[in-house]
Structures are given as structure tokens and as C-alpha cells.
Amino acid sequence: MVEATGSSPNTAPATGGAVRRLMRATEVDTRLLGMVGALAILWIGFHIMSDGLFLTPRNLWNLSVQTSSVAIMATGMVLVIVARHIDLSVGSLMAFVGMIMGTVQVNLLPQLVGFDFPLTWVITLLIGMALGAAIGAFQGYIIAYLGIPAFIVTLGGLLVWRGAAWWVASGQTIAPLDSTFRIVGGAPNTSIGATASWIVAALACVGIVLGILGGRRQRRKFNFPLRPIWAEIVLGAIGIAAVLGGVGIANSYGWPKGLVRQYAQANNIPEPDFIATGIAVPVLIALVVAIVMTFLSTRTRFGRYVFAIGGNPEAAELGGIATRWVTLKIFVLMGILVTISASIQTARLNAATNALGTLQELYVIAAAVIGGASFAGGIGTVPGAILGALVMQSLQSGMVLMGIDAPLQNIVIGSVLVLAVGLDTLYRRQSD
């Protein structure tokens, strides 16, 4: 309801053909649909231009893992931008939180409780979350209660936390990390495997069906018009097909040969031909974050207030919303999401470095903006931000597959960012 939908009930219904009718009946966000279309074109284009390397289980699996960290932060950044703020500190904050979590699990906890303590990863994550939340609250407090613009506060944060990350270990890299903690990084042999992936898929499908049924029941209770049954079925079928297709691809990607051999030797079994990888742990985390953040932003008071503040900060305050408190909470949330991404990236590298997350703030902001967040405030969606992250990562890995140099990659990504926002602005101007 808070998302800007392209079609409104009072526009002339006679014009437009079957597609329009389908979109009206299903009430889908036309903007989001446009992004899915753009992504499809991008993927097919890369597939052709890379001689069939792009749309392979291996590449798509890697793409999903590489996207997860930026996507997780983008779900928070979209709320920051919706509320008319910005957070430039996320890349540096990642490094600082990552260094602290590295120190805790490598230097601090082994001294206190010894190596191979089974709860090391839990304690590390809890300390990281608390730190991320506290730093978010600190920056949010300065922004919300002292009235210093977020741009300035988080620009300061960008410098401060990068410097602090260096101080944690005087610039040294902390490695190797706790073996359990490393699972969140997402290697093929620590992914959840075929069976668990199908269970996740089944749960998601049940969730889709229950969501549709619940929505209908609620509307019937108040005698509101229902969507046509066929539209519900189309929507549900598309959702279920997407879930099953995604999981099918993840399951058709097998462990690399080296890992299979190691595994066979370690377990003293003959080398199997194929071990299905399934959904990677960071992707699973990103999916959970996506669901939680979508829920927060569309189904809770907090989310409603974030959008109301972005639409008209003065009206929100006059309407009785504690706008400063809400603003502070947005930055706390951002800090927690940064910690999750920091965990994924350090675990993936199997090291904490003070250079972690360099320039990530720009990718995160770009993902949110490509996903439809507007700096004018009040507009943006969590699914859009995730799609935005996927577009950015697709561009990057597609160009890598095509053998395009890094400088040219940057030029392309920068141009796409401006182009995407430009097109969106034109589209909005027209549909208003």
C-alpha cells in the first residue's frame, strides 16, 4: 500500500489490453516488474555475449552468494533513503565490526575459553550485533536528536570507522577464523544441500499460498472486493515457479571436484559423481533478512512511520509520530544489517581485514536507488533494493565473464546507475 503503484483505480479502464488488465487484476507493482524484465534481458544478453557462461548453475550460484552481502545492507539502506537520510558509513562500519568480531573469535575467546569452544561463533555474532546496533544508535542519535545532517554524520563515520578498523589490530589481518563461524561465508561444502533446500522451497510455497488465502479472508471479513481467482492463481503460480526454479538451479550445482575428493577421503568412501550444493548459507540469510525487512517495512507501525516521515516529515510529527525515535531506530537497524554482512564477508574471506567493505557504501546506495528508492523521500521498496543489488552484481560478474577490464566495469556500472535513475525519474514524471 505504501509502494507507489503505477496504476490507480481512477484511471480510464477502457484503454490498454490484456497485459494491462492482468496487471490491474493482480495489483503488481509495475516498477518492480520492469526491473525483473530488465534483469532478464541483462542475463540473457550476458549469456549470449559470454558464449553460454552466464546462465549456468555454477555462475548463478556464485552470483547469489556474491549478491547476498550487498543485498542485505541495501534492505536497510532503502529505509534510510526513504526517510530522507543517507548512510555513507556502512563500508567502513563493516570493516570495524568485522575486525572486532575477528579479534573476539581469534584472540579473545580462545584465551578465555580455549580453542574449539562450540559457542565461539554465537558469542562473536552477539558481540558484533550489539556493536553494530550501538554504533548505529550513536550515529542515529546525532542525526535525529542533535539535528546534524546524516550526510555529514555518516561521512564522518566513513572516516572514523575505517580508521578505527585499522587501530583494532594495527592494520594486521586477523586469520584464520573459527571454523563454525566460517559457515556463514557460504562455501559449496557448507551449503545446506539438496534435501534441506527442497524443504525450504516447500515452506516458501506453503507461505505463498497461505499469504494469498490470508489476504482473501481478511478482505472478505470486511466485504471488500476480492481479486479475481484467476489473478490469484497466476500470482501464486509465478511465485511458486520462481521458488522451485531457484532451488532447482541451486541443487543442480554440484560441489567442485576438489571438495568432493576431500570429502570422500575424509569419510573413507568411494568418490561420488555429484554432491548437490543447494542454497548457500549467506543466500539463506539474505532471504530471511529480505522477508523480515519486507515485513517490517510494510506490515508494522515502524515501517509505516518510516514512509510517512519520508513523505512529509512535518506532517508525520504533527500526526503524532515520534519521528526522532523512529529515525534512530532506522540507523540501529542499519548497524545490525551491516554486522550481518560483515560476518558473511569476513567468513567468506576467512579473515578480517581493515580494508573490508571499501567502497561498499556506494554499491549499497546504488542498489537501493536502482531498486527505486528516491532521495526525495517516501519512496522505495525492500524487494526493489534486493533486485537492485542483483542487477549491480549481475553487471559486474557478467562483465568479468566477458573479460572486460575493471576500469571499464566501473564506467559501465556508473553509467547504468545514472541511466536507471534517469529512466525512473522520467517514468514517474509521466505516470503522475
Give me the residues that bind other proteins (CB under 8 A), please: 1-2, 4-5, 8-10, 218-219, 221-222, 224, 295, 298-301, 304-305, 307-308, 310-312, 314-322, 378-379, 432
The smaller minimum CB distance to other proteins, of residues 125 and 309, is found at: 309
In the chain, % helix, strand, coil (3-state, to 5) comes to 75, 0, 25
Q: How many CA atoms lie within 13 A of 347 on its CB side?
A: 26
Min dist. Cβ of residue 318 to other proteins (A): 4
The smaller minimum CB distance to other proteins, of residues 21 and 299, is found at: 299
Report the Cα 407 to chain-centroid distance in Å: 25
Query: Smallest Cα–Cα separation from 379: which of 19, 31, 22?
Result: 31
Min dist. Cβ of residue 216 to other proteins (A): 11
Min dist. Cβ of residue 24 to other proteins (A): 11
Task: Name the residue with cell 521458488.
Answer: 243
Alpha carbon distance 42, 37 (integer Å): 9
Min dist. Cβ of residue 300 to other proteins (A): 6
Residue 290, C-alpha cell as written in the block: 529480505
The smaller minimum CB distance to other proteins, of residues 7 and 358, is found at: 7
Min dist. Cβ of residue 313 to other proteins (A): 9
Min dist. Cβ of residue 176 to other proteins (A): 43
Min dist. Cβ of residue 299 to other proteins (A): 4
User: What ranges in 106-192 are assigned the alpha helix state H?
Assistant: 109-113, 120-145, 150-168
Alpha carbon distance 385, 68 (integer Å): 12
Alpha carbon distance 395, 49 (integer Å): 12
Min dist. Cβ of residue 8 to other proteins (A): 5
Task: List, in sequence order, every residue forming a beta bridge with 276; answer none if it has no partner.
Answer: 254
The smaller minimum CB distance to other proteins, of residues 70 and 208, is found at: 208
Q: What are phi and psi of 344, to 5 degrees?
A: -60, -45
The smaller minimum CB distance to other proteins, of residues 207 and 248, is found at: 207
Alpha carbon distance 156, 139 (integer Å): 10
Q: Within a 10 A sphere around the Cβ of 122, how many other Cβ atoms?
A: 12
Alpha carbon distance 197, 195 (integer Å): 5
Report the Cα 370 to chain-centroid distance in Å: 13
The smaller minimum CB distance to other proteins, of residues 47 and 304, is found at: 304
The smaller minimum CB distance to other proteins, of residues 16 and 52, is found at: 16
The smaller minimum CB distance to other proteins, of residues 222 and 403, is found at: 222
The smaller minimum CB distance to other proteins, of residues 261 and 301, is found at: 301
- What one-letter code names the amino acid at 384? G
Collapse the DSSP code of 271 into the 3-class scheme (helix H, G, I; strand E, B; otherwise coil) and give the result. coil
Min dist. Cβ of residue 295 to other proteins (A): 8
Asked if residues 342 and 98 have their Cβ atoms less than 8 Å apart, the reply is yes
